[in-house]
């Protein structure tokens, strides 16, 4: 599991997976772009998420599994919103087929 803290730059509320693009500063302070892949918009709404839950500029913390091929893609398991609210996505329940 990997945890990243970054600034939201874009949100795509679409099937099959909603995505959040974030800018994350590495250890040298250089900004790196990551794409956070989530469940479908329906799966998010079942967990209390709405289109207004995040907006560009928000600071968030995400935890999940990084892509094995070295790209900056993270499969979302948990997000901490700017207001401190947490959303945890469980394997099997929210990621069918896993």
Tell me the pLDDT tens digit for each residue of 44-94: 888 888 888 889 999 999 999 999 998 999 999 999 988 888 888 765 444
- Overall domain count for the chain: 1
Average pLDDT over residues 34-50: 89
Strands (E), 1-98: 2-12, 19-25, 31-37, 59-66, 73-80, 86-88
Tell me whether residue 80 is in a domain.
Answer: yes
93 assigned to some structural domain? no
pLDDT at 95 over 50: no
Range of the domain at 6: 2-88
Mean of the pLDDT values across residues 6-11? 96
Which has the closest alpha carbon to 95: 50, 46, 53, 26? 46
Tell me the C-alpha to C-alpha distance, in Å, between residue 35 and each of 10, 64, 92. Answer: 9, 11, 22
Note the pTM of the prediction, 2 decimals: 0.84
CATH code for the domain of 41: 2.40.50.1010
């Amino acid at each position: 599991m990997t945890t990243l803290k970054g600034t939201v730059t874009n949100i795509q509320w679409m099937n099959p997976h909603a995505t959040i693009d974030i800018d994350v500063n590495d250890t040298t302070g250089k900004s790196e772009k990551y794409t956070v892949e989530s469940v479908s918009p329906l799966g998010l709404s079942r967990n209390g998420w709405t289109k207004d839950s995040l907006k560009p500029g928000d600071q968030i913390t995400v935890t999940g599994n990084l892509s094995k091929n070295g790209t900056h893609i993270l499969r979302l398991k948990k997000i901490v919103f700017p207001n401190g609210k947490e959303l945890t996505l469980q394997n099997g329940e929210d990621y069918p087929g896993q």
